[in-house]
């Protein structure tokens, strides 16, 4: 049985585009919502004679429209609650609303509270540094892959570039998904999300290299064979490994998503989506880019030969 | 050769488990909980423990009050700018102590909220956060003997190059080496000419650390600070000087223990979830790959013990981001095994003997494992170098994880696989996940049930 991975490449490219483009649109209109760590907000320092459980306090805040609240217990019966900036204008004073709700719920134990503005604890520098590092790392990865595949000469570079395109595919898919979630459901991204994206990038390159290495080996063993069939059975041969590896990681993450705490949810979701995408792009996109590149090159060369042939005839 | 490797692996495993065990229970054969050594007058003590980040363990919270009114001569800088500058200096100081991912926020305009994971040395944290580290060189005041005065303008540590600790003299006393940058270096040389054979006073935060005598004319802007330093206090001073002086005096107005930001409950559940996930992975590997699966799980246990030991030794502060890096590296460790086993099956199905298949499988899976791991390490190294905060912690755990997984997946798994085929009862084809009869069907009976070695 041989699945036609290469022949149907245009359909796979189309599918990827359909999955990615809406996300890119929402990214462009600023759908990605920065969390408290990046934005700063309000810190409520509450004092109780005996503090309520953090999860319970979180539910109170969530009920008041602040599911992003981070509740942290401290010494001496204090609870610190961080939320995005509580709005105060002519009609509403959120700080007062929140204070009163807590006072009402914990009438017997509540002592007092103190609200202040906090700055972002993570600067934008964290993100720009990460992005800059990724760009730099991408260049090095292209060089590394080119070195590993040096027997192909200059063509080795296209393997590196294809791996980076697959990487962009996975990163954009996850960023786009969270831009959409941010736009419609106000899901915010935090520093954990940044690490999730970095993890996805690591996995994506890893997956792609495994498939490419099989193509390299098969081309080496069967010299003179056409590229497309070799790509086809190389993907076939690595298919079991690709699926099993990402399955094991997804198993762990699924457990984290289902049984893990509240704050783990978005993190696990981002990772699951990214790793599935990484496996998909390594099977259905990365090698297909190599094939497409070769076909375009052949066509140009063919046309060149034809025109030079025509010139010679005249 | 493989026998030597086996011993190396056994020794590493024993050491790793020794490091992993909490030391308050077992400290034999050493008398201190950790690594201690004594060299000459130097003694070093490294406590081995798991460092958990603020999100997983909580830590110490300091609230610092800015006192711009105490700045000598007043200031024209706005309180917001002073706050931001002070946070940068504190961040630099904390970071030079190691990767610990503190939280540093402004709390209103005139306060800074600082959270540090753990409470290992509260006094040190307080010093690091509040010491101004204002270095000034004073010269003898001719008007009153035995006193010192500032130069005009004062010669301060504002243009210092990075300082470092060195050891001097017969007793190897630690001193802090410093070097003035331009234009202070020229003034330093000039000072040595003007005050030759006289003492100059080195002040930190208006207090004398030492008043050495100038014995010769300096040729460069460098010098040393002596004092009754221990290696630790010398390093602390060097760190403080390197991070620059605080632009404004700070006072600790609150110091308290805080719980994990993720919430105790959330952390517990996530840890349990992680354990369930790993159990599922182990189960899957054994069911799918049979005997090699069991070997992979043993290698994974080895991997987990070794990585955890390295985390405790470096030490790495584990945060949720770090755990993510760890999970990713486990995935890659599993992957290296999967790659090898898939190759092994292919070779076995092609009718090769078990021993040949093992070697071929390893040889042919190796480039994929090598280059994919190299790409990951490369990315992680760059992230570690240029990253900040969470990203740095993530990169560090990933680097450790991938390097260790490479070692375990390539060496340990191979060694165990080769050891397994020494036992005839472990050579049955079904144990290796391939069909009972060879494809060509030339051999039959009992012989077909096990793979030829």
Angle CA(A6)–CA(A8)–CA(A14) in degrees, nearest 5? 115
How distant, in Å, are the alpha carbons of A118, B1, B252, B260, B404 from that of B63?
12, 59, 6, 17, 40
- Is 70 exceeded by the pLDDT of residue B119? no
Residue B10, Cβ density class (10 Å: 0-12 exposed, 13-18 middle, ≥19 buried): exposed
- Is 90 exceeded by the pLDDT of residue B300? no
CA distance A74 to A211: 51
Angle between helices A264-284 and B320-349 (to 10 degrees): 30
Locus of tokens 């002040």? B203
Which token pair is B4? 């030597």
- Is 90 exceeded by the pLDDT of residue B169? no
CA distance B205 to B62: 21
Helix, coil or strand: residue A41:
strand
Partner-chain contact B321 A129, CB within 8 Å: no
pLDDT in tens, A250-295: 888 887 787 766 667 788 889 899 999 999 999 999 999 999 999 9
- Which alpha helices (H) appear in B290-388, and where do they start and end? 291-313, 320-349, 354-386
The residue among B324 and A105 whose pLDDT is bigger is A105
Residue B419 C-alpha from the chain's centroid: 35
Residue A213: its pLDDT value, please?
92
What is the CB neighbour count within 10 angstroms for residue B7?
Answer: 9
pLDDT in tens, B79-90: 888 898 888 888
Q: How confident is the model at residue B76 (pLDDT cuts 50, 70, 90)?
A: confident
Interface test with B, best of A39, A209, A236, A270 (most B CBs within 10 A): A209
- Is 80 exceeded by the pLDDT of residue B192? yes
Q: Is the peptide bond before B153 cis (omega within 30 degrees of 0)?
A: yes
The HSE-up count of residue B361 (CA atoms within 13 Å, CB side) is 29
- Is 60 exceeded by the pLDDT of residue B439? no
The residue among B321 and A180 whose pLDDT is bigger is A180
Q: Give the chain B residue whose CA is nearest to the CA of A57.
A: B263
Q: Give the chain A residue whose CA is nearest to the CA of B283.
A: A248
Which token pair is B212? 């050495």
Which token pair is B321? 């981001």
Range B223-233 average pLDDT: 82
**B261 to chain A: which residues are within 8 Å by CB?**
70, 72
Interface test with B, best of A55, A163, A194, A198 (most B CBs within 10 A): A198
- The CA radius of gyration of chain A, in Å to the nearest whole number, is 26
Partner-chain contact A43 B113, CB within 8 Å: yes
Residue B372, Cβ density class (10 Å: 0-12 exposed, 13-18 middle, ≥19 buried): buried
**A121 to chain B: which residues are within 8 Å by CB?**
103-105
Which range, of A36-40, B46-50, B202-206, B253-257, averages the lowest pLDDT? Answer: B46-50
- Which alpha helices (H) appear in B102-217, and where do they start and end? 122-130, 184-194
A171 CB-near residues (< 8 Å, 6+ apart): A197, A200, A201, A204, A274
Long-range contacts (CB closer than 8 Å, 24 or more residues apart) made by B1-8 = B2/B415, B2/B418, B5/B411, B5/B415, B6/B415, B6/B419
* % helix, strand, coil for chain A, step of 5: 70, 10, 20
pLDDT in tens, A63-97: 888 888 888 888 888 898 888 888 877 778 888 88
- Is 90 exceeded by the pLDDT of residue B35? no
What is the CB neighbour count within 10 angstroms for residue B316?
Answer: 25
**A240 to chain B: which residues are within 8 Å by CB?**
342
Predicted TM-score (pTM) of the model is 0.79
How distant, in Å, are the alpha carbons of A158, B76, B275, B319 from that of A75?
58, 37, 30, 22
- Is 70 exceeded by the pLDDT of residue B437? no
Residue A19: its pLDDT value, please?
94
Buried b vs exposed e over A217-256: b needs ≥16 C-beta within 10 Å? bbbeeeeeeebbebbbbbbebbbebbebbbbbbbbbbbbb
- Is 60 exceeded by the pLDDT of residue B31? no
**B297 to chain A: which residues are within 8 Å by CB?**
none
Question: What are residue B315's phi and psi, to 5 degrees?
Answer: -90, 155
What percent of chain B is modeled with pLDDT above 70?
A: 87
Residues pairing with A44 in the sheet: A81, A115
Which token pair is B37? 């050594």
The residue among B65 and B127 whose pLDDT is bigger is B65
How does the average pLDDT of chain B come out, rounded?
81
- Number of A/B CB contacts below 8 angstroms equals 239
Handedness of CA B252, B258, B260, B266 (dihedral sign): negative
pLDDT in tens, B328-360: 678 778 888 888 888 888 888 888 888 898 898
- Which alpha helices (H) appear in B195-319, and where do they start and end? 231-243, 264-289, 291-313
What percent of chain A is modeled with pLDDT above 70?
A: 95
Buried b vs exposed e over B198-222: b needs ≥16 C-beta within 10 Å? eebbbbbeeeebbeeebeeebeebe
């Amino acid at each position: 049985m041989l699945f036609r991975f290469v022949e149907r490449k245009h359909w796979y490219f189309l599918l990827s585009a359909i999955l990615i483009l809406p996300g890119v649109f929402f990214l462009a209109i600023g759908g990605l919502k920065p969390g408290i760590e990046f934005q700063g907000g309000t810190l409520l320092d509450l004092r109780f004679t005996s503090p309520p459980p953090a999860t319970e306090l979180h539910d109170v805040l969530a009920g008041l429209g602040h599911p992003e609240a981070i509740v942290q217990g401290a010494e001496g019966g204090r609870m610190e609650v961080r939320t995005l900036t509580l709005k105060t204008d002519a009609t509403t004073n959120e700080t007062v609303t929140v204070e009163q709700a807590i006072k009402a719920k914990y009438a017997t134990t509540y002592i007092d509270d103190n609200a202040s503005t906090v700055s972002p604890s993570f600067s934008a520098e964290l993100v720009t540094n990460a992005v800059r590092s990724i760009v730099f790392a991408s260049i090095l990865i292209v060089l590394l892959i080119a070195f590993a595949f040096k027997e192909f000469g200059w063509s080795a570079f296209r393997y590196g570039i294809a791996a980076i395109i697959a990487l962009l595919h996975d990163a954009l898919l996850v960023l786009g998904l969270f831009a959409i979630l941010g736009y419609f459901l106000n899901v915010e991204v935090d520093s954990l999300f940044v690490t999730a994206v970095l993890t996805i990038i690591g996995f994506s390159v890893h997956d792609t290299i495994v498939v490419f290495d099989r193509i390299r080996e098969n081309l080496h063993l069967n010299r003179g064979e056409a590229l497309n069939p070799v790509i086809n059975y190389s993907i076939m041969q690595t298919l079991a490994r690709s699926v099993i590896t990402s399955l094991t990681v997804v198993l762990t993450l699924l457990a984290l998503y289902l049984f893990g705490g509240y704050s783990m949810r978005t993190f696990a979701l981002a990772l699951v989506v990214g790793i599935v995408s990484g496996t998909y792009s390594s099977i259905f996109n990365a090698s297909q880019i190599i094939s497409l590149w070769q076909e375009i090159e052949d066509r140009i060369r063919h046309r060149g030969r034809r025109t030079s042939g025509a010139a010679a005839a005249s | 050769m493989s026998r030597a490797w086996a011993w190396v692996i056994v020794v590493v495993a024993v050491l790793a488990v020794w490091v992993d065990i909490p030391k308050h229970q077992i400290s034999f054969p050493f008398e201190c909980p950790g690594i201690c050594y004594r060299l000459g007058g130097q003694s070093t003590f490294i406590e081995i423990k798991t460092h958990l980040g603020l999100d997983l363990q909580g830590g110490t919270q300091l609230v610092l009050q800015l006192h711009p009114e105490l700045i000598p001569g007043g200031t024209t800088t706005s309180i917001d700018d002073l706050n931001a500058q002070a946070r940068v200096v504190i961040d630099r100081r904390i970071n030079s102590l190691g990767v610990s991912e503190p939280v540093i926020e402004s709390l209103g305009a005139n306060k800074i909220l600082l959270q540090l994971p753990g409470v290992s040395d509260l006094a040190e944290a307080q010093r690091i956060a509040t010491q101004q580290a204002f270095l000034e060189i004073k010269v003898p005041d001719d008007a009153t003997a035995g006193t010192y005065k500032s130069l005009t303008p004062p010669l301060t540590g504002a243009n210092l190059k990075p300082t470092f600790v060195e050891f001097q003299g017969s007793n190897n006393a630690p001193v802090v080496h410093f070097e003035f940058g331009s234009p202070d270096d020229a003034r330093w040389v000039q000072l040595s000419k003007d005050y030759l054979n006289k003492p100059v006073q080195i002040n930190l935060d208006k207090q004398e650390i030492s008043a050495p005598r100038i014995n010769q004319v300096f040729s460069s802007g460098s010098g040393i600070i002596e004092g009754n330093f221990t290696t630790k206090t010398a390093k602390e001073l060097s760190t403080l000087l390197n991070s620059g002086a605080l632009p404004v005096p700070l006072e600790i107005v609150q110091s308290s223990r805080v719980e994990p930001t993720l919430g105790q409950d959330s952390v517990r559940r996530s840890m349990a979830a992680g354990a369930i996930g790993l159990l599922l992975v182990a189960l899957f590997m054994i069911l799918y790959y049979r005997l090699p699966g069991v070997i992979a799980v043993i290698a994974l246990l080895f991997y987990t013990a070794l990585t955890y030991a390295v985390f405790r030794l470096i030490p790495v502060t584990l945060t949720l981001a770090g755990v993510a890096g760890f999970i990713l590296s486990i995935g890659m460790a599993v992957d290296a095994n999967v790659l090898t086993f898939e190759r092994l099956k292919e070779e076995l199905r092609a009718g090769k003997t078990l021993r040949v298949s093992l070697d071929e499988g390893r040889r042919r899976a190796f480039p994929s494992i090598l280059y994919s791991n190299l790409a990951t390490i490369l990315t992680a190294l760059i992230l570690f170098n240029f990253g900040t905060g969470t990203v740095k912690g993530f990169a560090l755990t990933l680097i450790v994880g991938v390097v260790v997984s490479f070692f375990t997946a390539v060496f340990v798994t191979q060694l165990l696989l080769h050891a397994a085929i020494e036992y005839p009862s472990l050579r049955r084809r079904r144990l290796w996940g391939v069909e009972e009869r060879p494809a060509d069907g030339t051999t039959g009976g009992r012989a077909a049930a096990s793979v030829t070695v």
